[in-house]
Structure formats: C-alpha cells, structure tokens
Structure 1
Amino acid sequence: MTETREKLIEIKNLKKYFPLKSSMFKKEKQVVKAVDDVSFHIFKGETFGLVGESGCGKSTLGRTLNRLYEPTAGEIIFDGHDIASLNNKELQPYQKRMQMIFQDPYSSLNPYMNVEEIIDEPLEIHTKLSKNERREIIIDILEKVGLKKEDMEKFPHEFSGGQRQRIGIARALAINPDFILCDEAISALDVSIQAQVINMLEDLQSELNLTYLFVAHDLSMVRHISDRIGVMYLGKMVEISKSDELYNKPLHPYTQALLSAIPIPDPIKAKNNNREIITGELPSPIEMEKGCPFRSRCPFAKAICAEAEPQMKQIDNNHSVACHLY
C-alpha cells in the first residue's frame, strides 16, 4: 500500500479536550486531553485499525472524526474538504457519507421501533425516496446482512446480540455511505459471532467499496481485518504501520507490550513466552508533564525522554513511530 493511493480522510493535528469543572481549591480551568495533536490518513477502500488501552482516546478520536464530538482544534479533511468547522447545515451532506456502527447492539437500537422503522429513519432524513422505494432498499439491505424480509416487523428484543448488531450494520448501510466508523463493533458479541460479523464486514467492503475505521481492543481481530493499524496512548498516536509489519516488527515499546499481552492458545508456548509486562505509574491525562508520556512505564527510557516529546518519524514507506529510540 503506497502513498499514491487516494486518501478519503486526512486528519491534521486533531485535538479534542474536555473541560473539567473548577473547584474551590483549583480556580484555573483544567482539561482532559482525550485526543492531543493526532495526524494520520485513511485511504479509500481500506480498513484502518485503531488500538490501545481503554481510555487512550481511540473512541473519542473516531467520534470527533465523524463530528459526533466538536473538535477543539485541527483539520478533518474528508474527500478534499475540511469539515472540522462546518455548522450542522453545511455538515449534512457529509454526514450522509459517514456512518457509524456502535459498540452495544442493545442500547444503540430504539426498543420502540421495529426493524423497518429503524433502518428507514436515515433514509427518510437523507433521501427523497417514496415509502415503497425505501421499503425495497430495506429488504435488499437486510438480505445483505443475513436477515430476512420477515424480520422487518420484529422489534429489537426479539433478536440475539449478533442479529441486533446486523440490524445496526444495516442501518449504517441504508444511505449508501463511503465511510463507516466501527466503534468496538464486535466487543459485545460472542467469539463465534464476532468472526461471522467480521467476515460479513469484509464482504460488504468488497461489494460496496467501503472505507472503515475499525476501533477495537482485540488485537488479533484487528490484525485480521485491517490493512494498516494505528496505536494510541494517552491521546497520542505513537505508531502507524501496515498490519502484518506491525505484528511482526513492532517498534514502539508500548506496541511491543500490547502485542506481548495477546493470549496464546497453546499452553506450552504460553508458558515459555516472555511477556513484556507494563509497569510504572500511568500519567494523569489532566496534568501531563513535558516529554514522552510513556516514559514512566518504559523500560528503555533515556534522559531525552523527560525533556522532549517524541515526534512521529517515518521509518520506511509503511511504518512510522513516535519514539526517541529511532
């Protein structure tokens, strides 16, 4: 995958800060830097995986990219247009092209609407099609996600978790988007169902030329579906690489520790595996000190790590890392 491919999304120095309420002891305004100066891009038709510990900012990054959260600063260039500062009316044509699959298939569906009404809602908002035309589209989409026409009249409580997630996927596909944010889209599902949903997402991507941002903490599943992967730590992007290269040759110490934590199904190999356990104190996302945010937990930290924050460096055409070791 080379840089000559066309970019659908390009993020430049994106920030999303959440203000905290001031207390009687601290009058100055404090913020949580959930996403802090992140830059990367996603090519058309690819799946970009985003991984990291819980609380690292990966879901916030995805939702800011989709403009569900208002960005604090930075650019969000979608198909050549910066959508970061657009108002709701200006944003509407782009919202139609950017959809989302939520993590929880139980809370993301309105329990008082049947399947037809759930999938019809975005069609009614974003298109001028007649009721019969919309109904034909809904029937076609349900077949694509492995459900039946007869399911249209049922309500969410009548389905299993995997079937509910298929309904959520059908809703995201209804208005023929170009980009879909999969925000922990399989983490609430059984392992056997996860594989089915992943395979379906890959088939839909090939058929409909979709672009995915796949946010997850299951590193083995991310490797399976992703073309390239970004690793986040405390609101920062610390490494970006092609999927296989990241797993075979991780550069950042944090990435190495994450991959070392993947469970090994063979008990003999697992016993002989030298896991890299992350130790040390996790820095506060509110009062970040200068230097590398990972240095307090890094076994290779040097003096410069406390003095200057490492910038993203391109090691080769497909691999970049933010670390003073390189």
Structure 2
Amino acid sequence: MSEVNNELIEIRDLKKYFPVKSSFLKKKKQVIKAVDGISLTIYKGETFGLVGESGCGKSTLGRTICRLYNPTSGKVLFEGDNIEGLTYKELKPYQKKIQAVFQDPFSSLNPNMTVGDIIDEPLDIHTTLSRKERKERVKELLEKVGLKKEDINKFPYEFSGGQRQRIGIARALSTNPEFILCDEAISALDVSIQAQIINMLEELQEEFGLTYLFITHDLSMVRHISNRIGVMYLGKIVEIAPSKTLYEEPLHPYTKALLSAIPVPDPNYKIDVVDTLKGEIPSPLEIGKGCRFQSRCPLVTEYCTINEPTLKEVNDNHFVACHLVDE
C-alpha cells in the first residue's frame, strides 16, 4: 500500500513524442515533442488549471496523465503508485478513479446509445451492481447534473450542447472517481451555459471531494475555478503559481503576454507594448537550442538563445522557467 499524503498525482520528467512519417527524400526520422520533460504535482481536492495557446501540448499532457496515451518516458504516480508501465488489466482499478470530460460533448457520446446506456457503461465495467441498481444509479446521476430521470431513454441528439456536456459529466461521475480531466470542457458552449457548468463542477467538487485538471484557453474562466495555474508553451511548463498570484504578479514574458490579451471592457484601455505577443508558436518539429520562447520574446538575450531555462521556485509556491527572473 502507498503512503497516504496530500499528493494525488505526481508526474516526473514526463515525455510524449509522436513520430512523423518522413517523405522519401527525408531519411531522418522526426518526432513531435508534444510533452517534453514536464514535472508537476496535483494535490487532492484542488483544481489545477492548465493554459496556453493551441498546439502547446495541453490536451496531450492531460491524456497522457490519464493513460489515454502511453508516455514515451517519465513517470505518472497516482497516490504514490506508478501507473506508467501498467498493462490494460493492471490499469483497470485506476481507470475507475480517473475519468475525463472532453471538449465536444456530441462527438464524445455514442449517438447510437441512449443516455442510460452511455452512463451505465462504466458502471457495468467497473462495479458489481445489478442491472436494476445500475439503472437507479443512472437516474440519480442525471438528477445530480441537472437533468431529469425521464431522460434515461433519450439519445444524445435530443439534447442541447450544454445538456450533452452534463451527460458527459454524469458518465464521468458514475464510478465515483477521485480525479477528473476537464479537457476544454466548456469551450464549445455558450457563455451563459459555461457559467452554469463551472458552478456545477464546483458544487460537485465540494460534495464528492473531486480533484480536477482543468485545461482551457479561457484565461478569465480559469482564474475563477482554479486553485493553481500552470502555463504551458511548446511542450514545457513555463510558470506555475496560485491563481491570484499568477494574475497579479506574472513573471514569465509569455504569461504576461497571455494576460494582456484578455479583453478589457474599456475603449480607452491601452495594452503595454512590451507584453504584446507577436508571431505564432513555432513548429514542434523544429525546436532548437535555448529558450523555446526566444523567437517571440521581446526581452530575449543572447544567453537565452543558447541555454534552456529550468523551472525554479522564485517565491512561495511560484515557479518560473526564465533566465530573466531572479530567485
């Protein structure tokens, strides 16, 4: 048995590379380093927000933690147990504790299955409940996420986008998990519906003691729900801090640029030119020496182009990977 502590998930030097098929003329094998040596800890009962531009590796990191992808190297520890090298059979007890809610609520639900069957499937796999008991559990879950128990025989196409996402959340809750990956879980929904889903997730977290990894590109929303936030850029974590600290005292130039891009309802507001992010994220196939943010950083130095920064603690629970930030 593992020693009981406050750490639910710990990843150590986690890497996930995807091989790229080269053309006939290119004999050299290439890989996309979607996740390239990340280490972090997610504590029990917290919501860890993960932000960054599209293509930075956020979703790949989340899915690798959940073992939807097998890591290229590194360790994923769940309650102290290394689940990185486990077979499907060995992984089954952990799958019950680790669930996910995905971005598109329609494509993540089987259109040929009723809502009842969709939510019942994890119960059938991971529990010993009878069919009658499972049906009652499904009805309870539907009401728990704000739907009606009479919806049990309907199909996904009969619901709105927000209702379908509630079905996805009910399915994730069915096995009484400890950890839920919310991978862009609200980005496909209307703003008013987003607020409802966020409030529901917070209520469920308080009721069941859930831990969330909340992946999003909505910087204003992640501030509301997260205890701590990690900022990811081109396969690396560049900054981690408590939510309030990150928004009030950002240290990494990339974090400052992201925060400066949040719309402000003031026509006279002027963005600091230093914090304006220019250009696009470089190709993950062409990662060179030095800092990965060097091609877009307004403060880059020659030292930055040669040496890659490491994530270091500069203040209490505030970590940053930048040569220009002093400890």
For normalisation by structure 2, the TM-score amounts to: 0.96
Alpha-carbon offset, residue 137 of structure 1? 1.1
What residue in structure 1 maps to residue 316 of structure 2? 317
Name the Cα RMSD after superposition: 1.3
What residue in structure 2 maps to residue 101 of structure 1? 101
Q: For the residues of structure 2 that align with 1:186 and 1:139, how far apart are their CA atoms? A: 24
Identity %: 67
What residue in structure 1 maps to residue 255 of structure 2? 255
Check if 1:292 corresponds to 2:291.
yes
Whichever residue aligns with residue 323 of structure 1, its letter is C
1:122-160: CA deviation from partner (whole Å, max 9, x where unpaired): 000111110111111111111110011111111111111
Q: Is the 8 A contact 2:12 2:74 kept in 1?
A: yes
Spell out the pairing of 1:165-314 with structure 2 (5 A cutoff): 165-269=165-269, 272-274=270-272, 276-280=275-279, 282-314=281-313
Q: For the residues of structure 1 that align with 2:239 and 2:286, how far apart are their CA atoms? A: 23
Q: Counterpart of 1:306 in 2: which secondary structure?
A: helix
Bigger Cα displacement from structure 2, 212-221 vs 25-34: 25-34
What number of residue pairs does the alignment pair up? 321
Structure 1 residue runs without a partner (length 5+): none
Q: For the residues of structure 1 that align with 2:128 and 2:242, how far apart are their CA atoms? A: 41
Check if 1:67 corresponds to 2:64.
no
Q: For the residues of structure 2 that align with 1:292 and 1:274, how far apart are their CA atoms? A: 23
1:223-281: CA deviation from partner (whole Å, max 9, x where unpaired): 00000000000000000000010000100000000000001123333xx3435321246
Whichever residue aligns with residue 6 of structure 1, its letter is N
Q: Counterpart of 2:10 in 1: which secondary structure?
A: strand
**CA spacing shift, 1:304–1:210, aligned 2, 3 Å:** same
Alpha-carbon offset, residue 287 of structure 1? 2.3
Structure 2 residue runs without a partner (length 5+): none
Whichever residue aligns with residue 159 of structure 1, its letter is F
Q: For the residues of structure 1 that align with 2:28 and 2:271, how far apart are their CA atoms? A: 48
Q: For the residues of structure 2 that align with 1:58 and 1:273, how far apart are their CA atoms? A: 26
What residue in structure 1 maps to residue 13 of structure 2? 13
Whichever residue aligns with residue 317 of structure 1, its letter is D
Check if 1:136 corresponds to 2:149.
no
What residue in structure 1 maps to residue 46 of structure 2? 46
Q: Is the 8 A contact 1:238 1:323 kept in 2?
A: yes
Whichever residue aligns with residue 149 of structure 2, its letter is K
Q: Is the 8 A contact 2:234 2:281 kept in 1?
A: no
Whichever residue aligns with residue 295 of structure 1, its letter is Q
**CA spacing shift, 1:29–1:321, aligned 2, 3 Å:** same
Q: For the residues of structure 1 that align with 2:96 and 2:266, how far apart are their CA atoms? A: 46
Q: For the residues of structure 2 that align with 1:84 and 1:151, how far apart are their CA atoms? A: 38
Alpha-carbon offset, residue 24 of structure 1? 1.6
Q: For the residues of structure 2 that align with 1:5 and 1:199, how far apart are their CA atoms? A: 28
Whichever residue aligns with residue 318 of structure 1, its letter is N
Q: Is the 8 A contact 1:231 1:240 kept in 2?
A: yes
Q: For the residues of structure 2 that align with 1:309 and 1:255, how far apart are their CA atoms? A: 17
Q: For the residues of structure 2 that align with 1:46 and 1:307, how far apart are their CA atoms? A: 37
Check if 1:124 corresponds to 2:124.
yes
Q: Counterpart of 1:96 in 2: which secondary structure?
A: helix
Q: For the residues of structure 2 that align with 1:255 and 1:33, how far apart are their CA atoms? A: 21
Bigger Cα displacement from structure 2, 61-70 vs 135-144: 135-144
Whichever residue aligns with residue 278 of structure 2, its letter is T
Alpha-carbon offset, residue 302 of structure 1? 1.1
What residue in structure 1 maps to residue 145 of structure 2? 145
What residue in structure 2 maps to residue 55 of structure 1? 55
Q: For the residues of structure 2 that align with 1:118 and 1:279, how far apart are their CA atoms? A: 44
Alpha-carbon offset, residue 49 of structure 1? 0.2
Q: For the residues of structure 2 that align with 1:279 and 1:157, how far apart are their CA atoms? A: 41
Alpha-carbon offset, residue 108 of structure 1? 0.8
